[in-house]
Chains A and B, each alone.
Chain A
């Protein structure tokens, strides 16, 4: 375990040395960012909308005390979305989607000697292949999380209003009450940390694949499992540090 962690740190430091020109890094990063964004926007949209909807329905089900105003539903959906659901659930979904594709892609490149081919050309394969992925994830995850925030709160609105549990005005006044802007910042900090963890752990897993197709599959699964665990631990640590 400790040995793996040491290897991981060495791997991360190799990203920073003898890289290619900034122009190449920029182009590669944009390519990766587009890939991450396009591949995952659909699943993120679906998941966040439904989670918002379900949250709103469940809160209203539990909230049958007449002394609590109905607008509390909106308030609670907003709080849960901003603090936990949007950043964490989105990142876990992305760990599955982006993490497995990073690990699978790098693993395949490794076993088919494409990584060797880069190295023989005198290119630092980690900084060429991995660094753009990490930067791209750090750029794109927060955007997807912001999208998830809107969709989740929107999903809560639709579900609440359609089921007749809450009126439009009540929901809107709920999501506008006692708003703490810092929570948004907190969510974005979380998403950046999660982005780094998912992309770097998955790259690490993929890059050190050896063998054949079977090992590529294992690397992919390992990338997702480890990323998810890392996200949950980081989530706990950040909540203690920053809240």
Chain B
């Protein structure tokens, strides 16, 4: 369980995060939803400590993180798997070396065990055989998937994904979403996913936090999200025609049911 409390962050006097609190539960896929530029990535970086919040605190399973000693922070970080929005693959290493890297640095696996693990996760993201490619030879979507593979290769306790399926075709996006949900439930991971994809919300959103201009306007489950009366969230969701149609059908069903 990750708890954040009253996180504020400004860059050069411009407020990006304005007092965000929340609880991200273990074994659940928690979604940070919001329009481009609302501070989702910054919030994620505040949680893992890459950006220092101006005010506010983060605790990982009861252990205070923000401003704690570097040693304690590093201990917690060794349990974190993270996918960056830009993938952040090490461009001097092959795909295989990239994924093997956290296993080599943090674990005590033997070489062939590590390569086995690399091949397993590569298969799960649909990139088997790409071991010897360099990051510069990959497409954007492939980089993303290698980034996910690297994040999940060590069995992490906390998983953070910044837009795991942006730049992927709908089918691959769905597969990646399902993969993240699967391992979250299988290993009891606390997962936070940044997204603006409504498909992900419907497919895997156990808990959704809607950010708007640096504030959390709404939180709830995917079942509740279609019935919200928060104006900004409604605009966000129903900018999509399919979502409007879905809502219409749902409302009609409700009507016929109450008429009966």
Pairwise interchain contact B74-A122, C-beta atoms closer than 8 A = yes
Interface-centre pick from A108, A116, A117 (highest chain B CB count, 10 A): A117
CB-based contact B105/A116 at 8 Å: no
Residue B86 at the chain A interface, CB threshold 8 Å = yes
Binary CB contact string for chain A from 57 to 88 against chain B (1 if under 8 A, 0 otherwise): 00000000000000000000000000000000
Q: Does B141 contact A (CB under 8 A)?
A: no
Bound: A124/B73 CA distance, A: 11
Cross-interface CB contact of A120 among B75, B77, B86, B90, cutoff 8 Å: B77
| Cα-based distance from A225 to B76 in the complex (angstroms) | 40
Q: Which residues of B contact A108 (CB under 8 A)?
A: 91
> Is A176 interfacial (CB-CB < 8 Å)?
no
Q: Which residue of B lies closest to A117 (CB)?
A: B88
A167 CB within 8 Å of chain B: no
Residue B19 CB within 8 A of the other chain:
no
A18 touches B74 (CB 8 A): yes
Chain B residues lying within 8 Å of A123, measured Cβ to Cβ, are 74, 105
Cβ A121 vs Cβ B70 within 8 A: no
B171 within 8 A of A: no
Task: Kindly state whether residue B84 has any CB partner on chain A within 8 Å.
Answer: yes
Q: Give the number of residues in A that approach B within 8 Å (Cβ atoms).
A: 17
B220 CB-CB contact with A under 8 Å: no
The distance from the CB of B153 to the nearest CB of chain A, in whole angstroms, is: 11
A117 to B102, CA, bound (A): 10
B118 to chain A, nearest CB (A): 16
Q: Bound complex: CA of A109 vs CA of B75, how far in Å?
A: 23
Complex: A116 Cα to B49 Cα, angstroms: 10
Interface hits, B39-61 → A, CB 8 Å:
45, 48-50
Residues B86 and A112 in contact, CB atoms below 8 Å apart: yes
Residue of B76, B78, B80, B105 with most partner-chain A CB within 10 A: B105
Can you report 10 residue pairs joining A to B where beta carbons are below 8 Å apart? Answer: A17-B70, A18-B71, A109-B90, A112-B91, A114-B89, A116-B45, A117-B88, A122-B77, A122-B80, A122-B106
Which residues of B are at the interface with A, using a C-beta cutoff of 8 A?
Answer: 45, 48-50, 70-71, 73-78, 80, 82, 84, 86, 88-91, 101-102, 105-106
Residue positions of A touching B, CB distance < 8 A: 17-18, 20, 24, 108-109, 112-114, 116-117, 119-124
